[in-house]
C-alpha cells in the first residue's frame, strides 16, 4: 500500500457527523471483518476449505515429479498429459480464485508460448526454477529464484507461475491473477500490471505490508490477503472511499451491509434447501429399506437414484428398470418419477409412495393417478402420501379439490413422518406385506 493511501485511510471518518474513528484504519478493518464473516466470500469458501490444505502436499509432490522428469529428459514436449498438467489442474480446481490458472501453461502454437515445450534450454531453466523453489527456506531465496528465471526471458512464462510458488511457500509468495491485481490496485491506488515478474514482486511487497498492518485479521498465509484482493477485484466488494467524503463513506458502509445481508440470506437459503433435500432423501431411504425388509422389489424415482445416501446412493439394491408390463403402459413417464414403488413377485406395483416434504402435494397426487388409472391391474395398488405431520391440512385440502375426486375413490392414505420413523424398524422386523404400513397410515377419506 502506498504511504499516501495509508494516510488517507487513517484520516477516514466513521460517520457523516464527522466523528473520528477509534481505529486509524476503521473502514478497511470493517471491510476485512465483514469479508471474513461473509459465507460467500473467498475466506470461508476457499481459505478455510479443508481441501485447500490437503492440496499443499500433493502439489509439492507433483512439482517434484515435474522437476525429476525435466532433469531426466522425459518430460516431453506436450502440456496435455504431462505431470505439469496434473499439478496445474489440481490448482485450477481450487474454487473460483484459481479458475483459469491453467491457461498460462497451455501451449499456444501460433504464439509459440509458453516456450517451455519446444525449447529444451527453457524447459531446463523452468525445471531449475521449480527445483530451487522446492528447496528454498527463506523469502530472499525465493525472490532470487524469480529474478534468475526472469533473466532467461522465456516467452510467455510470466508471474502466473507464482501460483505454483504459493503452494510451496504460502507465507512468502502470494497467488497472482487478474482479479487479485485489480483488487490491489483499487484498494491501494497502485498501478500494478500483469505479465512481468517485477510487477508481481511489487504487489507481493504491498500484500505483505497489508498483512502486517492487519495482523489480527489476516493470516500469515498470504492466500488470505490475496483472497480479499480477489473479492475486491471481482466486484464482490468495493474498496473504502477516500477520506474527506463522509457521505461516500456512509454509502459504502450501507453497501457493505447490504452485501453481507444478501450473502447471509443466500447461504441460509442454500442450507435450508440442502436440509430439505436431505430429509426428503432420508425418508425415501426409510421406505426403500422397509420395502426390502418386507420382501418387495423397490423402485426409486429415476431422478433420485444417484442421490448420496447412507454411504452409497439411494438407488443401491433397487430396480434399475421398470418391468415391461409397467414401462409400456400409459403414463409410464410419470410413474418413473414416483418417489418409491414396491413391486410384488408378479412385477406389479403393490404400493406407491410420494414423499411431499416441501413440494406441492398436487404433483405427487397426479403421478399416483397416472399409475392407478394407467391399467386396470394397478387399481389394487395401495397409494400413500408421505408428508411431515404439520402438512396434514395441506394434504386434506388438496384431496378435497373437485379435480381430485378420483383420489377418494382410490382410497389414498396419508403416512405421517412421525409414524414411519417410529415404527419402521418394528414393521421391517415383524411385519408382513402391507398390513403394518396401512395400520400406521390414515385414510384420506377419514380425515377432516
Per-residue model confidence (pLDDT) at position 245: 64
For residues 253 and 312, state if they share a domain.
Answer: no
Residue 137, pLDDT > 50, answer: yes
For residues 29 and 154, state if they share a domain.
Answer: yes
Residue 61, pLDDT > 60, answer: yes
For residue 265, being part of any structural domain is answered with no
Domain extent for 33 = 3-260
For residues 211 and 240, state if they share a domain.
Answer: yes
Would you place residue 259 in the very low, low, confident or very high pLDDT band (cuts 50, 70, 90)?
low
- What distances in angstroms separate CA 207 from CA 1, 56, 57, 169, 192, one per listed residue? 8, 21, 24, 15, 12
Q: Rg (Cα) of the chain, in Å, rounded?
A: 31
Per-residue model confidence (pLDDT) at position 444: 75
- Give yes or no for a cis peptide into 114 (omega within 30° of 0): yes
Residue 156, pLDDT > 80, answer: yes
d(Cα 290, Cα 407) in Å, to the nearest integer? Answer: 25
Residue 272, pLDDT > 70, answer: no
Q: C-alpha dihedral over 55, 57, 63, 67, to 10 degrees?
A: -170
- What distances in angstroms separate CA 391 from CA 273, 388, 438, one per listed residue? 18, 5, 19
For residue 268, being part of any structural domain is answered with no
Beta bridge partners, 341, equal 299, 352
Query: Of all residues in the chain, what percent are helix, strand and coil, respectively (each to 5)?
Result: 60, 10, 35
For residues 189 and 315, state if they share a domain.
Answer: no
Would you place residue 333 in the very low, low, confident or very high pLDDT band (cuts 50, 70, 90)?
confident
Per-residue model confidence (pLDDT) at position 55: 83
Per-residue model confidence (pLDDT) at position 411: 79
For residue 33, being part of any structural domain is answered with yes
Would you place residue 437 in the very low, low, confident or very high pLDDT band (cuts 50, 70, 90)?
very high
Per-residue model confidence (pLDDT) at position 13: 32
Per-residue model confidence (pLDDT) at position 269: 64
Using a pLDDT cut of 70, give the percent of the chain over it: 82
For residues 69 and 179, state if they share a domain.
Answer: yes
d(Cα 14, Cα 12) in Å, to the nearest integer? Answer: 7
Give per-residue pLDDT as tens, 344-389. 999 899 999 999 876 666 667 778 888 887 665 556 789 999 988 8
Mean pLDDT, the chain, rounded, equals 84
Out of 206, 232, 260, a domain closes at: 260
Average pLDDT over residues 139-145: 94
Per-residue model confidence (pLDDT) at position 24: 45
For residues 104 and 187, state if they share a domain.
Answer: yes
Average pLDDT over residues 48-73: 90
Give per-residue pLDDT as tens, 63-119. 999 999 999 999 999 998 899 999 998 898 876 789 888 899 999 999 999 999 999
- Name the domain count of the chain: 2
d(Cα 186, Cα 238) in Å, to the nearest integer? Answer: 8
For residue 436, being part of any structural domain is answered with yes
Using a pLDDT cut of 90, give the percent of the chain over it: 50
Three cell numbers, residue 119 = 525449447
Give per-residue pLDDT as tens, 240-258. 886 666 766 676 677 667 6
For residue 398, being part of any structural domain is answered with yes
Element spanning 300, H or E: strand 297-300
Q: What is the DSSP letter of 22?
A: S
Average pLDDT over residues 275-304: 88
For residues 427 and 327, state if they share a domain.
Answer: yes
CA atoms within 13 A on the CB side of 433: 7
Per-residue model confidence (pLDDT) at position 240: 86
Out of 260, 285, 314, a domain closes at: 260
Q: Residue 310: which region, alpha, beta or left (left: phi > 0; alpha: psi -120 to 50)? A: left
Helix 178-188 to helix 197-213 angle (10° resolution) is 60
For residue 269, being part of any structural domain is answered with no
For residue 237, being part of any structural domain is answered with yes
For residues 287 and 241, state if they share a domain.
Answer: no
For residues 242 and 309, state if they share a domain.
Answer: no
Among 3-12, 63-72, 306-315, whose mean pLDDT is lowest?
Answer: 3-12
Which of 164, 152, 150 is CA-nearest to residue 197?
Answer: 150
Three cell numbers, residue 134 = 522446492
For residues 252 and 335, state if they share a domain.
Answer: no
For residues 379 and 252, state if they share a domain.
Answer: no
Count of CB atoms situated within 10 Å of the CB of 23? 14
For residue 270, being part of any structural domain is answered with no
Per-residue model confidence (pLDDT) at position 222: 97
Helix, strand or coil, per DSSP, at residue 248: helix
Among 92-96, 235-239, 401-405, 433-437, whose mean pLDDT is lowest?
Answer: 401-405
Per-residue model confidence (pLDDT) at position 339: 93
For residues 334 and 207, state if they share a domain.
Answer: no
Residue 60, pLDDT > 60, answer: yes
Average pLDDT over residues 35-59: 87
Beta bridge partners, 385, equal 354, 414
166 vs 250, residue with greater confidence: 166
Out of 212, 232, 260, a domain closes at: 260
Amino acid at each position: 500500500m502506498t504511504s499516501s493511501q495509508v494516510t488517507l485511510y487513517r484520516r477516514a471518518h466513521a460517520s457523516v457527523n464527522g466523528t473520528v474513528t477509534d481505529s486509524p484504519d476503521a473502514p478497511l478493518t470493517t471491510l476485512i471483518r465483514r469479508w471474513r464473516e461473509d459465507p460467500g466470500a473467498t475466506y470461508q469458501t476457499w481459505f478455510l476449505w479443508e481441501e485447500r490444505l490437503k492440496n499443499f502436499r500433493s502439489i509439492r509432490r507433483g512439482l517434484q515429479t515435474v522437476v525429476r522428469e525435466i532433469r531426466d529428459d522425459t518430460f516431453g514436449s506436450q502440456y496435455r498429459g504431462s505431470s505439469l498438467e496434473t499439478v496445474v489442474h489440481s490448482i485450477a480446481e481450487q474454487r473460483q480464485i484459481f479458475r483459469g490458472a491453467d491457461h498460462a501453461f497451455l501451449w499456444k502454437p501460433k504464439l509459440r508460448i509458453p516456450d517451455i515445450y519446444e525449447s529444451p534450454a527453457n524447459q531446463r531453466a523452468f525445471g531449475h526454477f521449480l527445483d530451487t523453489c522446492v528447496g528454498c527456506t527463506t523469502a530472499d531465496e525465493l525472490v532470487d529464484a524469480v529474478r534468475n528465471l526472469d533473466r532467461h526471458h522465456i516467452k510467455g512464462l510470466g508471474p502466473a507461475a507464482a501460483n505454483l510458488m504459493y503452494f510451496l511457500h504460502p507465507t512468502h509468495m502470494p497467488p497472482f491473477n487478474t482479479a487479485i491485481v485489480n483488487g490491489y490496485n483499487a484498494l491501494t491506488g497502485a498501478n500494478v500490471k500483469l505479465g512481468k515478474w517485477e510487477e508481481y514482486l511489487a504487489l507481493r511487497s504491498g500484500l505483505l505490508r497489508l498483512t502486517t498492518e492487519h495482523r489480527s485479521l489476516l493470516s500469515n498465509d498470504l492466500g488470505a490477503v490475496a483472497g480479499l484482493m480477489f473479492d475486491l477485484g471481482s466486484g464482490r466488494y468495493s474498496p473504502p472511499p477516500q477520506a474527506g467524503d463522509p457521505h461516500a463513506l456512509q454509502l459504502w458502509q450501507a453497501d457493505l451491509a447490504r452485501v453481507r445481508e444478501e450473502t447471509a440470506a443466500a447461504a441460509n437459503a442454500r442450507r435450508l434447501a440442502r436440509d430439505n433435500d436431505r430429509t426428503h432423501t432420508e425418508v425415501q431411504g426409510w421406505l426403500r429399506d422397509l420395502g426390502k425388509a418386507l420382501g418387495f422389489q423397490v423402485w426409486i424415482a429415476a431422478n433420485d437414484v444417484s442421490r448420496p445416501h447412507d454411504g452409497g446412493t439411494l438407488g443401491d439394491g433397487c430396480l434399475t428398470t421398470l418391468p415391461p408390463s409397467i414401462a409400456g403402459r400409459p403414463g409410464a413417464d410419470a410413474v418413473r418419477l414416483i418417489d418409491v414403488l414396491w413391486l410384488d413377485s408378479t412385477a406389479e406395483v403393490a404400493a406407491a409412495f410420494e414423499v411431499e416434504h416441501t413440494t406441492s402435494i398436487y404433483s405427487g397426487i397426479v403421478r399416483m393417478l397416472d399409475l392407478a388409472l394407467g391399467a386396470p391391474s394397478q387399481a389394487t395398488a395401495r397409494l400413500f402420501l408421505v408428508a411431515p405431520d404439520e402438512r396434514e391440512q395441506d394434504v386434506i385440502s388438496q384431496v378435497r379439490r373437485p379435480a381430485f375426486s378420483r383420489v377418494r375413490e382410490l382410497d389414498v392414505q396419508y403416512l405421517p413422518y412421525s409414524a414411519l420413523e417410529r415404527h419402521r424398524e418394528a414393521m421391517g422386523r415383524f411385519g408382513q406385506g402391507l398390513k403394518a404400513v396401512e395400520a400406521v397410515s390414515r385414510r384420506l377419506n377419514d380425515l377432516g
